[in-house]
Amino acid sequence: MKKLVLLTGLCLLSAAASAEYKRHYNTNYALPDEGPWEESAYTLPAYPGAEGFTALDVPRTEGTRYLVEEKSLTITPDGVVHYVLKVVTPRGAENLSVEGLQCAKKRIRNYAFGDNVNKRWIESVNGAWRDWSRQDKVRVTVRETLCPDGFAPKSAEEAVTLLKKAAPRQ
């Protein structure tokens, strides 16, 4: 009987204690409101020469080669990785494009395409940011290479290091 009274008393005491419990939030770790994302200003790089490209290891491309120009790699304050992509077909045709990648948001943008005859950039008509598709093996490879943890590298030097480390062995 004493045990029953003691048990009942403990239950009532714990119910009273839980009724007085208030949740306390630690505001020391509250993140500031960043507001809407704005893209930093970006200037197209100089038209590249034939040297200074590093190959990407893109699976199942049937002889087409994909390369990124090392000195075109830049990371802007908004976290966008910019690069020049060169596509070389098995017959030797080359296409160049200037692209941007938002690592964390998995979005890409085409800024310009290369005019191989006049050695100049032609700005993209539809230069809007768009979600990338898992079926786009090239962009998936670029993102996995340059954003291995889902975030942009801290510097262009780090991006070049990541690119060289992931390049296929010849």
Whether residue 130 contacts residue 119, with contact meaning beta carbons closer than 8 Å, is answered with no
Dist. CA 134–CA 148, nearest whole Å: 15
Q: To the nearest whole number, what is the mean pLDDT of the chain?
A: 85
In whole angstroms, give the CA distance from residue 160 to residue 74.
10
pLDDT in tens, 131-165: 988 888 898 899 999 998 889 999 999 999 999 98
Rounded distance between C-alpha atoms, residue 152 and residue 119, angstroms: 29
Average pLDDT for residues 115-144, to the nearest whole number? Answer: 91
- pLDDT value for 38: 84
CB 101 within 8 A of CB 81: yes
Report which secondary-structure segment, H or E, holds 102.
Answer: strand 94-102
Q: Please, are residues 95 and 105 in contact by the beta-carbon 8 Å criterion? A: no
Q: How far apart are CA 77 and CA 34, in angstroms?
A: 14
Domains of the chain, first to last: 53-166 (2.40.128)
Task: Assess whether pLDDT exceeds 90 at residue 110.
Answer: yes
- Checking if the pLDDT of 19 tops 60, the result is no
* Residue type, position 127, single letter: G
Maximum Cα–Cα distance across the chain? 99
In sequence order, the 6+-apart residues with CB closer than 8 A to the CB of 34 are none
